[in-house]
Amino acid sequence: MNNTVATPRTLIDKIWDAHLVRAESADAPAILYIDLHLVHEVTSPQAFSELRGRGLKVRRPDRTLVTLDHSTPTLPAGTDGKLPYANAQTAQQVAQLEANCAEFGLELNGFGSGKRGVVHVMGPELGATQPGMTIVCGDSHTATHGAFGALAFGIGTTEVGHVLATQCLLQRRPKTMAVTVDGRLPAGVGAKDLILHIIGVLGVDGGTGHVIEYRGEAIRALSMEQRMTLCNMSIEAGARAGLVAPDQTTIDWLRGRPRVPQGEAFEAKAGEWLNLTSDTGARFNREIRIDAAQVAPTVTWGTNPGQVTAIDRAVPRAGDAQSERALAYMGFKGGHSLLGEKVDVVFIGSCTNGRLSDLREAADILRGRRIAAHVRMLVVPGSDQVKRQAEEEGLNEVFKAAGAEWREPGCSMCIAMNGDQVGPGQLAVSTSNRNFEGRQGPGARTVLASPATAAACALAGVIADPRSWGGMSDAA
Amino acid sequence: MTPIRRIESRVAVFSGENIDTDQIIPARFLTTTQREGLGQHCFADWRYDQEGKERPEFALHRPELRNAGVLLAGRNFGCGSSREHAPWALLDLGIQVVISTQIADIFRNNALKNGLLPIVVNAEQWQAIAGFETQTIAVDLERQQIELPDGQTIAFEVEGFARQCLLRGVDQLGYLLAESAAIDTFEKAA
Ligand code: SF4
């Protein structure tokens, strides 16, 4: 094209264009260069086998960040020094990744490194996640890294192999969607409530084929941790990814982290990063607006993350086969609010809400109180670093004094692969991201909620409104 | 990968919407380090009761559907996780084609890379196919059409590059590796 005035572009398109090894054509997808590849034990073994079978190396070990999180125990090693794995296969999966890292020359942020954590908590806290990057991982919640203005999305194991071997992916350009959140969130309402609300508006497949840019006053007011919670669940609306343009909040959060440039080099980089925005007048394929003032503490009532309700509002009456099935599975009645439903398990953790600020939010409600006697509460920090910081602040003591279990970092009850499970028929209030049937164990029933709501439910022993337990009064 | 041109098989109907990857292959079976053998766990919580006995009401347990290779599923099939174990498990169970009015992005991508054909049709076409539940239909990738027993045909789209790869049985890693000079150039310029 020979235009003298460049067409305004979205941030999504700018990042895309900057990573094209080859542009797409009618016959072939684009070859997209990947800046950072995150790897964990569940979706990588078959990819390493593929490389081994073909005699290939990992092209860029320096752009590959590896950790262990999904199948790892959250109880410490026993007196014999052995970790209490749920079964032989989970232990084998971890051993396999350790062996693969040794064989392919990859640094593993494993046990004893002090840096291990849920992959989407670890990448940002090390400063490996940076604005303008393309980031992938064999994990659908890779969208988390979009909080930094990166184009970050989940891939399958075959593609993990592609990135290991070539640092590239074959991709078609995604469609773009702007989700603008105007105004300010009310006191007592946080990022988790906001994203559940947004998924409720979009529906679980409303984002299919799109990458979302979250923008607007309410988004700018969010902390980095809150932006991560927000972007994390983009996939639950079917979107490939979600991102927030970098601003001073992003820069201040990144400064001094181990993997970012230091000193003057950082400030120079920061200047570049602040230019990463959608041009004025850039067109999105779809735009929606949300009024932040309308968002209340929000929970799910069904078996997908789009089945949401404000906590004090009635669950919709079953109108279709899908909601009927969901209500039957959950044992809830349409037309009533969930307040007062008996809770068996409370889980605080995951890549959605396992960061320090999430633990603080829960601890603020629990401090000096005891959880209901029949509730089992598990608090699982998102990473070694989160655990250390929480312990320095004494949050672990708050949780333990309240009657909760304080565990080692990992995915834990979010995916229930490591033995941390909700029992059949039990109702769990969980700060994770998926309430699918059986996600937290066969027959388990999951209500997704913010850390404040989860903590309030643990105290009350039933579904409870965090605002009546003094939760997040300054909406921080 | 074996080339795919035409599949003729019986149709099983799963009309539920938003069938997620945790239903297709529950997370507790993701502890494997292989691709093979996941078929026995596919839809585990729908197929077996708590004692591990087969539930007769599960569609694929109907005698005429034991070997069904085409799954006609409700809207937004495969939503949720990026686990490629989902298409691996379906293929291992004998499913070669998934047809729905919408298929989740990552699942579709993963399916195409493994020779499981994801096809999107509109609601009317979905109903037409559902009318032939348990019967044999043909899915012709070369002509990009579904052929129903009454002679009706339904055209479908598959991304051109993925289609060529499936028809010729080539895998995409080979294609990327052949571009390593271009990747070198990109890295040097960056
Ligand atoms: S915490 Fe849950 S959603 Fe996040 S990476 Fe782990 S299993 Fe996936």
Which of A158, A161, A166 is closest, CB to CB, to B183?
Answer: A166
Q: Is residue B12 helix, strand or coil? A: strand
pLDDT of the residue at B2: 83
The torsion angle over the Cα atoms of residues B25, B27, B29 and B32, rounded to 10 degrees, is: 110
Q: Which residues of A are annotated as a binding site for [4Fe-4S] cluster?
A: 351, 411, 414
Contacts for B96 with CB less than 8 Å, ≥ 6 apart: B4, B7, B9, B69, B70, B115, B116, B117, B139
Contact A442 B102 (CB under 8 A): no
Contact B183 A322 (CB under 8 A): no
Average pLDDT over every residue of A320-341: 94
On whether the CB atoms of residues A237 and A203 are closer than 8 A, the answer is yes
Q: Which of A68, A43, A241 is nearest to A158 (CA)?
A: A43
Query: How many residues does this entry show for chain A?
Result: 476
Question: What is residue A120's DSSP assignment?
Answer: H
Interface probe, candidates A32, A56, A208, chain B, greatest B C-beta count within 10 A = A208
pLDDT tens, residue by residue, A44-59: 999 999 999 999 999 9
Which of A90, A304, A322 is closest, CB to CB, to B20?
Answer: A304
Q: Which of B84, B54, B55, B20 is nearest to A155 (CA)?
A: B84
On whether the CB atoms of residues A63 and A167 are closer than 8 A, the answer is yes
Distance from CA of A125 to the nearest CA of B (A): 23
Q: Is residue A92 helix, strand or coil? A: helix
Report the run of H or E that residue B22 belongs to, with start and end.
helix B21-24
pLDDT tens, residue by residue, A238-251: 999 999 999 999 99
Contact B76 A208 (CB under 8 A): yes
The CA distance from A159 to A199, in Å, is: 27
A118: left (phi over 0), alpha (psi -120 to 50) or beta: beta
CA distances from A88 to A55, A71, A102, B31, B156 (A): 29, 11, 21, 9, 45
Could you identify the atom of ligand 1 that is nearest to the CA of residue B81?
8
ipTM for the predicted complex = 0.94
Report the run of H or E that residue A226 belongs to, with start and end.
helix A224-232
Query: What is the maximum alpha-carbon separation in chain A?
Result: 71
Average pLDDT over every residue of A102-115: 96
Which of B16, B75, B176 is closest, CB to CB, to A168?
Answer: B176
Band (B190; pLDDT cuts 50, 70, 90): confident
The CA distance from A12 to A5, in Å, is: 20
pLDDT of the residue at A474: 45
Band (A320; pLDDT cuts 50, 70, 90): confident
- Quick one: tokens of A340? 């007062």
pLDDT of the residue at A370: 98
Contacts for A375 with CB less than 8 Å, ≥ 6 apart: A343, A344, A345, A346, A403, A457, A458, A461
Contacts for A373 with CB less than 8 Å, ≥ 6 apart: A461
The CA distance from A136 to A111, in Å, is: 23
The CA distance from A180 to A216, in Å, is: 5
- Quick one: tokens of A467? 């605002």
Interface probe, candidates B19, B21, B22, B25, chain A, greatest A C-beta count within 10 A = B22
Q: What percent of chain A has pLDDT over 70?
A: 98
pLDDT of the residue at A3: 52
Q: Which chain A residues touch B180 with a CB distance below 8 Å? A: 166
pLDDT of the residue at A472: 62
Q: What is the best residue among A155, A411, A436, A439 to mutate for testing ligand 1's pocket, by most ligand atoms within 8 Å of CB?
A: A411
Would you say the CB of residue A141 lies under 6 angstroms from ligand 1? yes
The reported pTM is 0.95
Q: What is the best residue among A121, A432, A448 to mutate for testing ligand 1's pocket, by most ligand atoms within 8 Å of CB?
A: A432
Would you say the CB of residue A139 lies under 6 angstroms from ligand 1? yes
| DSSP codes joined into one string, A281-317 | TPPPSEEEEEEGGG---EEE-SSSTT-EEETTSPPPP
The CA distance from B162 to A50, in Å, is: 20
Contact A436 B80 (CB under 8 A): yes
The CA distance from A428 to A233, in Å, is: 19
Would you say the CB of residue A415 lies under 6 angstroms from ligand 1? yes
Q: Which chain A residues touch B109 with a CB distance below 8 Å? A: 155-156, 159
Q: Tokens 């194991």 belong to which residue? A: A157
Q: Which of A5, A12, A157, A87 is nearest to A420 (CA)?
A: A87
Q: Compute, in angstroms, the gap from residue A383 CA to the centroid of ligand 1.
A: 12
- Quick one: tokens of A320? 């279709």
Average pLDDT over every residue of A465-470: 90
pLDDT of B110 above 60:
yes
Average pLDDT over every residue of B16-36: 93
Would you say the CB of residue A224 lies under 6 angstroms from ligand 1? no
Q: What phi, psi does A368 have (nearest 5°)? A: 75, 10
Which of B22, B106, B190 is closest, CB to CB, to A154?
Answer: B106
The CA distance from B14 to A136, in Å, is: 32
pLDDT tens, residue by residue, B137-150: 999 999 999 999 99
User: Residue B16: is it exposed, middle or buried by C-beta count within 10 angstroms (0-12/13-18/19+)?
Assistant: middle
pLDDT of B189 above 80:
yes
Least reliable range by pLDDT among A68-72, B48-52, B108-112: B48-52
Q: What phi, psi does A388 have (nearest 5°)? A: -60, -50
User: Strand B136-140 to strand A175-182: parallel, antiparallel, or no bridges (unpaired)?
Assistant: unpaired
pLDDT of A475 above 50:
no
pLDDT of the residue at A317: 87
Q: What percent of chain B has pLDDT over 90?
A: 92
Report the run of H or E that residue A20 belongs to, with start and end.
strand A20-22
Contacts for B23 with CB less than 8 Å, ≥ 6 apart: A436, A437, A438, B43, B45, B46
State the Cα angle at B100 between B17 and A146, rounded to 5°.
75
Contact A161 B22 (CB under 8 A): no
pLDDT tens, residue by residue, A175-189: 999 999 999 999 999
pLDDT of the residue at B170: 86
* Closest Cα to atom 6 of ligand 1: A411
CA atoms within 13 A on the CB side of A35: 20
pLDDT of the residue at A208: 94
pLDDT of A153 above 50:
yes
The CA distance from A193 to A127, in Å, is: 27
Contacts for B131 with CB less than 8 Å, ≥ 6 apart: none
CA distances from A461 to A291, A370, A371, A372 (A): 32, 10, 7, 5
The CA distance from A190 to A352, in Å, is: 12
Q: What is the best residue among A229, A414, A422 to mutate for testing ligand 1's pocket, by most ligand atoms within 8 Å of CB?
A: A414
Would you say the CB of residue A118 lies under 6 angstroms from ligand 1? yes
